Structure 1
Amino acid sequence: MNGRPVEFSTNKPEHPSEILAIGTSDVYSVPQTMQIYRAVVAMCSKGFRRLPVTDAGTGRLRGLITASDVVDLMGGGSKFNLVTVKHQGQILSAINEPVKEIMSTDLETVHPSDELPDVVDRIVMTKTGGLPIVDNNDLLMGIITERDVLQVLTSYKSKSLVEDVMTTSLRVISPDETIQGAGREMTRRNFRRLPVVSNDVLFGIVTAMDIMKYVGDGTIFENITTGSTDDVLGISVRSLMKGDLLTTSPLENVGDAARFMLSKGVGALPVIEDSRLVGIITEYDLVRALQNEL
């Protein structure tokens, strides 16, 4: 973090595992029996977008619950069947089910001895926001995320600009789109965020984390009449957009954009040119861009 180019062979942290030093080794995990709602509350309170699920006795990794899994449950995809079929449309009943009902079990993992360049390649190849770190017995040792990697890679002085790596084929929604509609679009497209646009004006971005916080901060209970999905998922996404709208420009250096995103704790920035939305740049885009220059 001293501004010098990253040299993976020489600038290794003083830690028995480079990956554990860069990621989080004091990792918070939950058992498979924990209620979905309690897990979501924990994720929101700690600012986590993903939470490992482990055996209570052995600590072995069994799954991962992510903000995207919660969005899927909230009407985005197949996990919504837990609401519609098992709980006859009563979403507040469904979120009391154990996390094993919606957790992802087909996981990409890394080993503590893996080299950082290989881990970066895995993140880019799989488009996975976070990889659990496990030993040879699947014992959970930690987790490494796009944001952790970006912290390291931003010490490299990139020559690329935002316009070189941003996504320009955008899917947008209107401020009047429902939470359920936004979740369905995210799940179908495998997106974690969607720009909110009306009459060519950018209102903001709604993210999977925003939808998860709708549950985790208790706002969902403010819209209860019958407890059905129409009650709690039929409100517009404009109610989820809070805080300042942070943006960048196409001519911004990607390293500067990365540092700005890290300082603000956001995972993406809309790209604005001449007051128009021309793209979006995400943590994944930045990791991929900086990785290609190492």
Structure 2
Amino acid sequence: MVRKRPISTIMTHQVISLNIDDTLEKAKHLFKIHNIRHIPVVSRDALLGIISYTDLLRINFDDAFEEKGDTREAMVDNLLTIGQVMTRKIVSVNTSNTIKEVAEIFKKQPFHALPVVDDNKLVGIVTTTDLINYLLNKF
């Protein structure tokens, strides 16, 4: 039955991730070149947190101004670390969770991405976009 289908069938397996020591500038670059909105933060393969594009927008005010190339953004990027900006309280799922279970989590929570972790190792990420694409393909 479709409801019992594991999340591993729709999750992203090739996860773009950051290390806690990486810079906010690197995070911005990864968001831009990969056209993604969520990046797990790992130490080796262990999940430590997650950073979203929205997290970066909250701390960078330059996007609200016309002038680009101002040093304010660079100052903010150098003052804060990935560890200070990332979300540490993470809800995650594992590959055996069903698509229905993941949809129920998204329904109850304000976030749009769930890291997929097996045996304390990051193995994927599933987003509301993945879920919507899956549902659209069913019609």
What's the CA shift string for 1:171-227, capped at 9, x where partnerless? 1111111112100111011111111111222111111011011236xxxxxxxxxx5
Residues 12-60 of structure 1: per-residue CA shift (max 9 Å, x gap): xxxxxxxxxxxxxxxxxxxxxxxxxxxxxxxxxxxxxxxxxxxxxxxxx
Partner of 2:83: 238
Q: Which residue is equivalent to 2:127? A: 282
Partner Cα separation in structure 2 for residue 259 and residue 213 of structure 1: 27
Q: How far 1:264 moved relative to its partner?
A: 1.2
> Secondary structure at the residue paired with 2:50?
strand
Stretches of 4+ aligned residues off by more than 3 angstroms: 227-230
1:265 aligns with 2:105: no
Alignment of 1:152-167 (within 5 A): 158-167=3-12
Q: Structure 1's 165 and 209: CA in aligned 2 closer, same or farther, altered over 3 A? A: same
- Asked whether the 8 Å contact 1:158–1:293 carries over to 2, the reply is no
Letter paired with 1:198: S
Structure 2: which 5+ runs fail to align? 62-70
**Which residue identity is paired with 1:195?**
P
| Percent of residue pairs bearing the same amino acid type | 27
The residue that corresponds to 1:169 in the other structure is 14
Partner of 1:149: none
| Cα shift at 1:243 | 4.9
Shift of 1:159: 3.7
| C-alpha RMSD over aligned residues | 1.9
Cα distance in 2, alignment partners of residues 211 and 262 from structure 1: 24
- Distance in structure 2 (CA, Å) of the matches to 1:290 and 1:159: 14
Unmatched segments (≥5 aa) in structure 1: 1-156, 217-226
- TM-score normalised per structure 2: 0.83
Q: Which whole-Å deviations, capped at 9, do the CAs of 1:44-78 have from their partners, x for residues lacking one?
A: xxxxxxxxxxxxxxxxxxxxxxxxxxxxxxxxxxx
| Contact residue 267 and residue 282 of structure 1 kept, 8 A | yes
Code of the residue aligned with 2:23 in structure 1: it is T
Provide the rounded CA distance (Å) in 1 between the counterparts of 2:14 and 2:93.
Answer: 17
TM-score by length of 1: 0.41
**1:133-282 to 2 correspondence within 5 Å?**
158-215=3-60, 228-234=72-78, 235-282=80-127
Cα distance, 1:197–1:243 mapped onto 2, change above 3 Å:
closer
Residue 284 of structure 1 aligns to which amino acid in structure 2? T
What amino acid maps onto 1:268 in structure 2? Answer: A
Residue type matched to 1:255 in 2? Answer: K
Of structures 1 and 2, the one with the larger relative CO (CA 8 A, separation 6+) is: 2
- Contact kept, 8 Å, 1:249 with 1:271, in 2: the verdict is yes
Number of residues of Structure 1 aligned to a counterpart in Structure 2: 129
Report the residue type matching 2:77 in the other structure: L
